[in-house]
Amino acid sequence: MTKKDLLKLIEKELNNKTQKQVKMVQTQFEKSYMDIKQYIDNKLKNDNDILKEDIKSIKDIDITSLLETLKNQMNFILEKCNKINEQVKNVHKKINKIKDIKKEIRQVVLKKLEEDTENIKKEFK
């Protein structure tokens, strides 16, 4: 075997090994690609299913009923507020009456004091 033949044989063997390695890397890449693709497809399908369920649950909510309930609650609160407002007005009226009575009592007491003072003055004269 000549040197040239030996070099050809080595080259051929190296080419075979290189081709095998390239084929192995290519196969590995394809497998990884398919695994990743499958993972993404599954993830998208799961996410899509979750979104469909969320949309269905949102559609199942009866907005009209919720709005009616909210309106009723607001009306109830408004009625309570009006009652409280009326009670506050009544309390203010009573407070004003009490102030007026207090003024009247003060006037009567002052008048009585003046009369008593005048009477005492008359007695000492």
pLDDT at 123: 84
pLDDT at 100: 95
Tell me how far apart the 2 most distant CA atoms of the chain are, in Å: 168
pLDDT tens for the 125 residues of the chain, in order: 788 888 888 888 888 888 888 899 999 999 999 999 999 999 999 999 999 888 888 877 778 888 999 999 999 999 999 999 999 999 999 999 999 999 999 999 999 999 999 988 888 87
Secondary structure letter of residue 1 according to DSSP:
-
pLDDT at 105: 96
Secondary structure letter of residue 61 according to DSSP:
S
Tokens of 32: 């990884």
Tokens of 106: 């003060």
